[in-house]
Amino acid sequence: MNQKNLDYKADDLTYEAGGDGGEIQNSNSANFTYGKTMHLDLGSELRNKGIYRLFPGWGRDLLDPTYRPYVAPPFPPNIAP
């Protein structure tokens, strides 16, 4: 995963609040990927407790060859005319 040099976004508050999003890669994505590699269903407990949305980035298999990484927009945004 380190060799992929993925853009890291720590959190996605709009997703946690119920909006669209969660398409980020972060420590949650890494933990999901590790669990999947070990054939563990780490997400079932999150779903059962109804806290799945508190883990943006979850469900992203960073080793999937078809995974399209999230790239954060530049900060500060370029708003010059």
d(CA 63, CA 12): 21
Domain ranges of the chain: 10-54
Predicted confidence (pLDDT) at residue 19 exceeds the cutoff of 90: no
What's the pTM value of the predicted model, to 2 decimals? 0.74
pLDDT digits (tens, 9 = 90+) for 20-77: 776 788 899 999 999 999 999 988 988 899 888 888 889 899 999 999 888 766 665 5
CA distances from 24 to 1, 3, 30, 55 (A): 14, 17, 11, 10
34, 62 in Cβ contact below 8 A?
Answer: no
Query: Among candidates 16, 18, 12, 25, which has minimal Cα distance to 58?
Result: 25
